Structure 1
Amino acid sequence: MTVLNTYLNFPGTAEEAFNFYKSIFGGEFAMLSRYKDGPKMDGCGDVPPELGEKILHVSLPIGANMLMASDAVPPLCPPVTTGSNVSLSLHPDSEAEARRLFEALSAGGTVQMPFQPMFWGALFGMCADKFGILWMVNFDLPKA
């Protein structure tokens, strides 16, 4: 079964926003990582020191769902535009289904990041479908 989660991008306020959401929904962050702790990204150069503490990824369980986010701050990412700062994040339970979903959703749209292995042990890709809706597809690879 594929799980659908919401992914938000913030202009540098993800930590403040997620502390606010945590105060409302309760629980603990399932993950919180900062740009300074992540790997060097192809074509992005070093993370400027003033952006090192910004959020690379945060996730907060809410019931059976996960609310996730990052700080999308230039020069690391394109600037946040309200209205296009929300992505739907799919988490299929098989690699074949993940590839099928990514190919189908990106057909006629725009691939923003090819579906490929990532440093967190998953296959991941991002696209905008032909209607402009932003999608992320993440398949966690089996642990060896």
Structure 2
Amino acid sequence: MATVSTYLNFDGTCEEAFAFYKEVFGGDYAAPLQRIGEVPQPPGAPALNDEEANRVMHVALETVGGHLIHGTDIVPSMGHVLVNGNAISINVELDDEDALRDIWTRLSAGAEIEMEPTPMFWGQLFASFEDRYGIRWMMVAPLTEGTGLA
């Protein structure tokens, strides 16, 4: 079956970020966390120092509705440079306001808030922020009747 997932790049904070995401969303990693030092290096690649060898090569975590987020750390000695930007956001669609507010409260800890959970003209609760790891998130949920604009 074909699927769509989101891949996130970090500069040495992948393991910390995914431990945080695991705490927020629950569950377990979709496969064991793999370190860069555990995989064969390409011929002619510079030797890895201990810090780079301990960085994350790959990790995956199921979030909501079966959506997987994957993560990796860059390797500076291989010329990798991380540039955070606003070209991608993870959009989490939840079933109700309570679920949105619960996950938003935990996931946005230490975040740069763009919009707190707010009733929108299209009939959903919407929130957006950049988490403490530089990842952009959007969250939506149906409004409960009698609140906001529903």
Distance 1:29 1:23 in 2: 11
Give the CA RMSD over aligned residues: 2.5
Distance 1:42 1:84 in 2: 34
| 1:1-144 correspondence runs (5 A) | 1-31=1-31, 32-62=33-63, 63-83=65-85
Per the normalisation by structure 2, the TM-score is 0.52
| 1:97-144 deviations in Å (ceiling 9; x for gaps) | xxxxxxxxxxxxxxxxxxxxxxxxxxxxxxxxxxxxxxxxxxxxxxxx
Relative contact order higher in (CA < 8 Å, ≥ 6 apart) = 1
Q: CA deviation at 1:51?
A: 1.2
Q: Is the 8 A contact 1:11 1:80 kept in 2?
A: yes
| 1:33-92 deviations in Å (ceiling 9; x for gaps) | 0011111124423322221111010100123121001001301351100128969xxxxx
Which amino acid in the other structure matches residue 74 of structure 1? P
Which structure has the larger Rg? 2
Distance 2:53 2:88 in 1: 23
Q: Is the 8 A contact 2:60 2:69 kept in 1?
A: yes
Q: Is the 8 A contact 1:7 1:69 kept in 2?
A: yes
Per the normalisation by structure 1, the TM-score is 0.54
**Structure with greater proportional strand content:** 1
Distance 2:67 2:41 in 1: 30
Q: Which runs of 5+ in 1 are unaligned?
A: 88-144
Distance 1:79 1:7 in 2: 16
Q: Is the 8 A contact 2:14 2:56 kept in 1?
A: yes
Percent identical among aligned pairs is 38
